[in-house]
Structure formats: structure tokens, C-alpha cells
Amino acid sequence: MDFEPWWLIVVPLFFALGWIAARVDIRQMLSETRSLPNSYFKGLNFLLNEEPDRAIDAFVEVAKLDPETTELHFALGSLFRRRGEMERAIRVHQSLLSRADLPQHDRENAQHELAQDFLKAGMLDRAEQAFEQVLDTRFAVPAVRALIRIYESEHDWPRAIEAVKRLRALVDEPVPQLVHYQCERAVNALTAKTPDLTAADAALDAADHAAGALRGQSKGQASEARIAMLRAHLARLGEQPERERTYLESVLTIAPEYAGLVASDLLESYRRVGQQKEGLQVLHSHYMRHPSLDTFNVVFRELRAQQGYEPAWAFAREALRAHPSLLGLDRLLEAELAVYDSAQAGDAGAAESSLVAGAQSGSVPGTDLSLLRSLIHKHTQRLDRYACRVCGFEARHFYWQCPGCNSWETYAPRRLEEVK
């Protein structure tokens, strides 16, 4: 390869240009570093030393000294919200919104962050107003979801339904809780001082339509069971006993695990038309296929009333042998004590006869029953509850929406002893 004389000029020139560029970059970096407030470096130092509280104070000082640090404001606001310091988070985001020179996309972001601050602080009215201001921005979907949660917490079911419709227009996804919003409207109509049967029927029709998208899913079964139970209530208020019984019996087919919630009402519907024996047979047959404590309790009590001591206890022995349960035994003892107390008070001749027959068969005397039941009851109180699968909130009554975490359909229709 031949040496070219012009290399002597080009090579030093490239070297000189590179040296100049490096010097310029270093000077620019030094200039930018000098322009940063000392509080910034203090904050970094506190972070490295694992002193987050002092680091936050230092960064707050940076934000005060340099109002152009928009990203730092957003980071501080989010950090305050996560730490539960809602007043400071709100103040940071409000200071951003007060800036006239804030770009539009940052203004929308600040408005959405402020709405989340209000929501977490429990200031629902202000949160609602703040979320409504970003409904036409890129934050529309999370804003609508937040509004749905707000309307849920306020039990404003009509507005929650409208918000769900708006969400469906933005994203194509099912909203399972829509069924329950319509059911809640029906409950309000049925339990009003003057029940509005027409409004309840319309709400249940809408719930049926919403449940159509969920059919075939476990949540769909629960929703359909609730609709059937409410239609039975509607039929009872409308003095349509046959329709009431049909809807209650449909629950046994649609969602067999929910039978315990309707067992008493179903038996009562048979009793009103003088067919309590048929009702007992239906529930007994269902219990043999889908045993549950609540159904067991209803069947045992009705067997005791209709057929006496021995058939009821024969059923109980077989049931408890197949599915041992302290709660089941507690319910048996409770029923026996009720009969004993009635006999002692002379309230019912039939009760006395039944108790005498039980005594001749070797039943436990009333005093011993009471002692035994009190001992068992202390251990079963903790088990005689429903529990949320999400947050673990326990309650004596069944809820479609957990009072603890507000999740829907998270209560299994079984007592704690059955699901553990």
C-alpha cells in the first residue's frame, strides 16, 4: 500500500475535530451539572444512604427552586399518593395545573393524577368532577372505570349503568357486574315503601339481557341464580305462587350450590299451597346430590316437624356420617332444644309427644342437650360464616358484593367449615 502525502493533513485534522467535540461535550455536561441545585445531589445521596424521607424533602426543595421540573413533580405526586400523604400529593398536582405554560398533554396527565388523589383520599365528589374533565382525553378508559367504582360506592346504580355503557363504547370487553347493577335496581324497587313491580320487572329484564354474555361461565350461573331469586320475590309480591315456586326450583338446576339460599323460601312456597310433603321431598333429593349445611338444616327441621324424631335423626346420622360437621351437629342440637323448650312450656302437645318418643328412643335429656350444645356452639361460631375469597372478610349473611373489598360474587354460598 503506497503512502499518500495528503494523509499528513487529513489525519491530524480528524484528531483535532474529535478533541474539540469532546471538549464541547464535557463543557456542556459540566454546565448542566452546575445548573442543578445542590438539593438534587443531596436527594440522590439520601437515596443511596437509604434515607427515603430526607430524600423526598430534598427533591421537594428542587421542585420549588426549579418549576420546570415537570417529571419530578409527577414522580413526587405519585410517591406521596402511594405513601398515603394525600394532602401533599394533591398540592403537587394542583401546583402543576396552576402553571399557564404547562403543555396540554402534561395538563391532562396532571388532571388525571389529581383525580386519583381525590379518589384515594375518599373525596368522591371532587374525584368525580376531576375524572369527568379527562373523559375526552387519552385517559378516558381509566377515568370511566374510576367513575364506575365511585358510583358503586355511592350505590348510584343508574349512573353506574350509564358509565358501563360508556366503557363498552370505548373497549369491547364484558362487564360482569352490570348484571348486579340491574339486580340492585330491582331490589330497590321491590323493597321500596310502595313496591314498584313494573320497575323491578324491567330491571330484571335488563339483567337477563346483560347475563346473556356470561352464560356458560361460573359467574354467569351465579348471576342467573340471583335473577331467578329476585323474580321469585317479584312473583310472591304479585301473588303468583306457581311462578314463585318455578323460579325457586330453577335455582336448584341453574346453580345447585346456591340451593341453601333458597331452601327455606322454596319449602314455604310449597307449604302455602298445602304441598309441604312434596317440597320436603324435592329438597331431600337435592341434598343427596348436592349436600350443604343450609339445606341440611332446612330438611332436618322439616323432617322433624312432618315425620317426627326418628326419621329426622336417621337422616341426620347418615348425613353427618357422610359429611362430618360440627355446624351440622350444632344445628341438630339447636332444633332439639327448641322442641324441648316448647314441651317444657306446654306450648305444643305435639312437641311434647315427639319429645317423649325421643326420650323412649334413648335421646339425651334436655339439660344435657343444653350443656352439649353450649360447648359445641363456642367452637362453631367462628365457622358459621361466609367469607370473601378476595379479602377474607367474614359475615354471618351472604352478600353478592363483599362489604370489605366491594368485589362481586366473591362469597361462596357455603359456610366456612364447608369451604376449608
Angle, helix 52-65 to helix 70-82, in steps of 10 degrees: 140
Among 94-103, 107-116, 266-275, 406-415, the range scoring the smallest mean pLDDT is 94-103
Phi, psi of 290 (to 5 degrees): -135, 75
Higher pLDDT, 314 or 18: 314
Mean pLDDT, the chain, whole residue set: 79
**Are the C-beta atoms of 360 and 372 separated by less than 8 Å?**
no
Phi, psi of 412 (to 5 degrees): -70, 140
Per-range mean pLDDT, top range of 36-50, 188-202, 324-338, 378-392: 188-202
What pLDDT, on the 0 to 100 scale, is given for residue 88?
81
- For 332-371, what is each residue's pLDDT tens digit? 776 666 666 665 655 544 444 444 444 444 444 555 556 5
69-100 burial by CB neighbour count: b if 16+ within 10 A, else e? bbebbbebbbbbbeeebbebbbebbeebeeee
d(CA 418, CA 39) in angstroms, rounded, equals 59
Q: Please identify which residue in the block is written with the cell numbers 353427618.
A: 320
Bridge partners (DSSP) of residue 408 are: 401
pTM, two decimal places: 0.75
Percent of the chain, pLDDT > 70?
68
**Are the C-beta atoms of 204 and 230 separated by less than 8 Å?**
yes
| pLDDT over threshold 80, residue 62 | no
- Considering Cα of 286, then 287, then 292, then 298, what sign does the dihedral take? positive
Per-range mean pLDDT, top range of 25-39, 290-304, 343-357: 290-304
